[in-house]
Amino acid sequence: MPRSAVWDHFTKFKTDDGDIKGKCNYCNKEFCCDPKRNGTTALRNHMNIFKKHPHAIETRQALLDLQPNSNNVEGEVGTLTTWKYDENAIREALVSMIVIDELTFKFVEVYVEERSKLKSYLKRNCQRVGLIVDTWTSLQRINYMCITAHFIDNDWKLHKKIINFCPITSHKGDAIGRAIETCLLEWGLDKIFTITVDNASSNDIAISYLKKKLANWGVTVSNSDYLHMRCMAHIVNLVVMDGLKDVGESVLKVRNAVRYIRSSPARLKKFKEYVEYEKN
């Protein structure tokens, strides 16, 4: 039976090389713990600095913080208060800063760390990846592109991960194709199963560009004959919009009638009274 208290928080196992290691039950970090060479010092040190395990006790002292004088009275130096680091508060402030200042996720180290984890996970847990690519233009006239990767892991679970969200130079096919290629190279993804895009002519050019690249990489499936998947939602939207053209005049009259009724509270009230009257 293990005598050290650290084994309440670690799981001992042997590697393929015969080394004895302990894995943290909370963050999955591994440490060497051979009783003859290492002992449990590394495990104990990890528990002392890792604050997320259930038995962690915060023992650090609060910091002193000098708050400025809010009344701007000359001669007053402000108020001395205590300050304590709060990881959740810092994360919320960080998110607000990124949104307000329109910064990229790469601005912080958290993105780099999580991206590295996902990149490693993709290499270990998937064979083929299906991509969904969407482009649009913002109110500021900036072109954006979002790429979402869909894949099935080794346990046959379906995953969906956004691997890129970035501005692009234009909506031309070559620009879209190069942007997707750059993203794939950055993530080390080459085994692409399908790419789903809207039914725009520029996307046809982008798919043709990517077919050539995948052929050069030697990773095509059926010569990429089924690489291009057309977005079903966009197809339905085009069908509906085309059908509405035949009844466009009637739809316009209904919209004008609704706008006329809702533009006046008295009119709207009277209309509701007539509706209730007709129900009876």
pLDDT in tens, 94-135: 888 887 887 777 677 777 778 888 888 888 888 899 999 999
Q: Report pLDDT for 195.
A: 95
Total residue count of the chain as it appears in this document = 280
Domains of the chain by residue range:
5-49, 109-236, 248-279
| Top-confidence range, 16-20, 60-64, 101-105, 168-172 | 168-172
Q: pTM for this one?
A: 0.56
Q: Which two tokens stand for residue 11?
A: 């799981």
Report whether pLDDT(59) > 60.
Answer: no
Which of these, 143, 201, 215, 203, lies nearest to 177 by C-alpha position? 203
Is the domain defined by 109-236 classed in CATH 3.30.420? yes
Average pLDDT for 162-188: 92
Q: Report pLDDT for 64.
A: 63
Q: Report pLDDT for 193.
A: 93
Which of these, 4, 1, 8, 12, lies nearest to 54 by C-alpha position? 8
Report whether pLDDT(70) > 90.
Answer: no
Place 35 in a pLDDT band, splitting at 50, 70 and 90. Answer: confident
Report whether pLDDT(55) > 80.
Answer: no
Q: Which two tokens stand for residue 130?
A: 């299906």
Q: Report pLDDT for 2.
A: 47
Q: Report pLDDT for 143.
A: 92
Q: Which two tokens stand for residue 91?
A: 């994360």
Q: Report pLDDT for 1.
A: 44
